[in-house]
Amino acid sequence: MPSPSNSSTSPTSLNLRGCFTAITTPFTADGSRIDFGALEKQIGFQGAGGVAGIIVSGTTGESPTLEHDEYERLVERAVAIGHGLGLVVVAGTGSNSTAHAAAMQKFAARAGADAGLSVNPYYNKPTQEGLVRHFTAVARASEMPVILYNVPGRSGVGLSLETIKRLSEVPGIVAIKDAAGNVDLTSETCAACPGLIVLSGDDPLTLSMIGVGAVGVISVVSNLVPRQVSELCAAALDGRHAEALAVHREIAGLTKALFVETNPIPVKAAMKLLGRDTGVLRLPMTGATAGTVERLRMEMAKMEMVEVG
């Protein structure tokens, strides 16, 4: 078991501001194993790109298809590599079983992660009271901070504003990844929960969300362009709106292309185009269509990331 290198992280000491990349999980060409060499290069690329931190084993990291031992090794390696580069490392710890989510939160804390990203329980569709009890139990399982992950499009149930307010008062729940696609809800959350850190969970809406009170993004597109997303966040948070808008427009085409199929299908294809990943996904996720790959190639060529053709 790894030493708890960062288990002393407290809600008050955790800096969740700026760009945090939800990193892909690189697999070997046959998909049977995690390619830890590629993982180290990817985290290094993020560090060089100026991001504030990374999220490992989230949606973009194909968490549903990771075996238990793979998950543990992935978190341990990401923590070691990320902390070596001065990055905040957040581990995906969500589950639709409260006991399992609490156990994952405990493991990630022992592994030295700075926080756990805990998604709304999926498939079983709990009530709002069930959501409050679930996340409260997760927060009580460990002293490691919890980031709520509100993504009703994937989980089938969303956190209401009143539920978010109740959870913001639970010790240890410090932030929310807002992927509900509703800037009005973002604005209301920022106003109603001044002590809760709000992060965009939708790349196309990051600039708008920062405009109403969010302080950063958990990003997919920063897998490819960490510098630009970091600059967008910094400019927006500094009140340099024209600069932030210019970056937003620069990456808008690429951002849209990354969501024409279910994430992480397009981003894995884009990483393959860059020679930074095998592009392999595990079933039930399948590879990008030829049309998606061509659209990605064209958008990346516009940004001089790849050559046309």
Q: Which of 41, 122, 165, 177 is catalytic?
A: 177
Q: Is 64 exposed, middle or buried (0-12, 13-18, 19+ CB in 10 A)?
A: exposed
C-alpha to C-alpha distance for 133 and 18, rounded to whole angstroms: 30
Q: Which of 125, 149, 165, 256 is catalytic?
A: 149
Q: For residue 34, give the DSSP letter.
A: B
Q: Which residues contact 159 (CB under 8 A, 6 or more apart)?
A: 120, 128, 131, 148, 150, 167, 176, 180
Give me the half-sphere count of Cα atoms (radius 13 Å) on the Cβ side of residue 162: 3
Tell me whether residue 123 is one of the annotated catalytic residues.
Answer: no
Q: Which amino acid is it at 97?
A: S
Among candidate residues 156, 158, 174, the one with its CA nearest the CA of residue 12: 174
Instruction: Give the three-class secondary structure for 11.
Output: coil
C-alpha to C-alpha distance for 208 and 295, rounded to whole angstroms: 25
Instruction: Give the three-class secondary structure for 113.
Output: coil
Instruction: Judge whether 147 and 175 are in contact, CB under 8 Å.
Output: yes
Q: Which amino acid is it at 99?
A: A
Tell me whether residue 41 is one of the annotated catalytic residues.
Answer: no
Q: Which residue numbers are catalytic?
A: 149, 177
